[in-house]
Structure 1
């Protein structure tokens, strides 16, 4: 067996084929035609003298030797990536398709602009951004990373915290033209609240925590406006239709320009940290790692 015949590009092709579940998809990711990708895979197996993949028209599966080689290749490629990054060589390698998912409001205000800035530094990059308030399956959907608000909920994923995130209650100044702002949580029951939930119930229980004493209170609120979309709830609040409870990151621009004003500032909703999540720590494409590093920089204070 001649190890000099084994090229890093072939190892990358093999690893990408396993991760994507398709040799053709792996070839496209790395810039190979299906014919060239198949030829390179056969060359790698010939150099090693073993079959690494069982290939059919529907799926790929690792042989026992392939599973062992896959683990070693991941470690080798990670070492190469880290070495290039330390020498400043990795910047030119951020290429290919970067697929990101994010909640709608967070995506529009933060993730979308971050991607635009990131792509300007890496002209060879292609970007796909999916904005969806529903929880998506990172692995099944093929995303490189997803940004989520709240708990991980998926033990298969690596999670990196980007920022703390408190929920605030706010309304448009015009909403208070003929009514007094709530002074204590119990006052919320006398106000029209914009509800954001998947059910059809026109009421909800809002749990609040005192930032001064740590006390918790649960208040039953109700209103005439219900939606399952955070952006719509935000727009209704800005139109003066009621009080809304939203992430500070979602409403920070509106609070800054006066479109919304915060009430009960000594009380906060449940904290739901903002995290970026991805499927593998061991073989993370350079484009994904560099973008995650940018996100860490982007999420400073929202005020």
Structure 2
């Protein structure tokens, strides 16, 4: 294989990544044990080699250009792979280590994933976990995430997808609401009830309620005087306090249903679910810490199905 980089060029790439991560030539210099002038010269050599500006510079700050950010993401992944390959060969990374950045929807995070993280770190104490709880779609490359979990994930050739579970849906209400408004016994009865709606933050669309009716799947766009967006737990809280009916995931309200503070409504029309999918970038080396976390989650989904 023909040599493409010399030692100086590889060192310049490392200093460039340090400067991008630290947001400062001075901080990168301190981290690398060199002078700020040496960092500046290294990055200037890279820019000359590439024929493009990597940073926008002012007297007080530096900021990656569009080309610089794209180059940084590729270089960071390449350097990470080199480090991990060296550790594996030397037998030093027998255990997963390093930072794992994950993005999870708020509800799924609170009720499914966050409670599991201490158990994962008991197995792999060398892994640090940075959790992003949000219902928005993230940019894996631009934001540096290793893994995301999403509902109804769309096909994407740049991402690997692993099915986690089909989360069962249930319609709930507080006993005091049912005492006041009556208990619906058919899907047509929903038209006479206050049905709390949920609006998707990505599209502003209000989602339909899903049912099974005589073996056929039905979708109903329920109506009412309340609508929540961004956080499904808002609808659960409203239902708990007697605002109306709400369709949500059973795993969120299992405790309340057992205690009787919430009641399942129209169970004979239930059985529908929505899929949760684990996503991570395709076509790149999968770090040991990410492989370990994926295996751990897949193991946990088997426990949920018991």
Q: Structure 2 residue aligned with 1:56, among 43, 54, 57?
A: 54
Equivalent residue, structure 2, for 1:277 = 279
CA displacement at 1:277 relative to structure 2: 0.8
Match of 2:179 in 1: 177
Which one of the candidate residues 262, 265, 275 is aligned to 1:263? 265
Do the aligned partners of 1:194 and 1:244 also contact (CA within 8 Å) in 2? yes
Q: Corresponding residue for 1:47?
A: none
Cα distance in 2, alignment partners of residues 298 and 23 from structure 1: 37
* Deviation, structure 1 residue 143: 1.3
1:163 alignment partner, SS class? strand
Query: Hey, what's the Cα distance between the residues in 2 that align with 1:295 and 1:36?
Result: 37
The answer for the alignment partner of 1:216 in structure 2 is 217
1:92 corresponds to:
95
* 1:142 paired to 2:144: yes
TM-score (norm 2): 0.68
For residues 236-292 of structure 1, what are the alpha-carbon distances to aligned partners after superposition, in whole Å with 9 as ceiling and x for unaligned?
111121111112333334334433222222334864211111113531122122111
Asked if 1:233 is matched to 2:235, the reply is yes
Give the structure 2 partner of residue 45 of structure 1: none
Q: In structure 2, what is the equivalent of residue 107 of structure 1?
A: 109
Query: Cα–Cα, structure 1 residues 291 and 248, in superposed 2: closer, same or farther, change >3 Å?
Result: same
Partner in structure 1 of residue 44 of structure 2: none
Please tell me whether residue 22 in structure 1 is matched to residue 23 in structure 2. no
Alpha carbons 2:165, 2:277 under 8 Å: kept: yes
1:205 Cα deviation (Å)? 7.0
With normalisation by structure 1, the TM-score equals 0.69
Task: Report the CA distance shift for 1:180/1:109 in structure 2 as closer, same or farther (over 3 A).
Answer: same
> 1:235: how far off?
1.0
In the alignment, is the contact (CA less than 8 A) between 1:195 and 1:227 conserved in 2?
yes
Contact 1:185 1:217 in 2 (8 A): no
1:34-45 pair list within 5 angstroms: 36=32
Q: Count residues in correspondence.
A: 272
CA pair 90-176 structure 1, distance change in 2 beyond 3 A:
farther
Aligned equivalents of 1:179, 1:91: Cα separation in 2: 61
The 1-side partners of 2:305 and 2:176 are apart by: 24
Matches within 5 A, 1:187-226: 187-197=189-199, 206-210=208-212, 213=215, 215-226=216-227
In the other structure, the counterpart of 2:248 is 246
Aligned residue in 1 for 2:161: 159
Partner SS, residue 289 of structure 1: helix
Gapped runs of 5+ residues in structure 1? 40-50
RMSD: 4.6
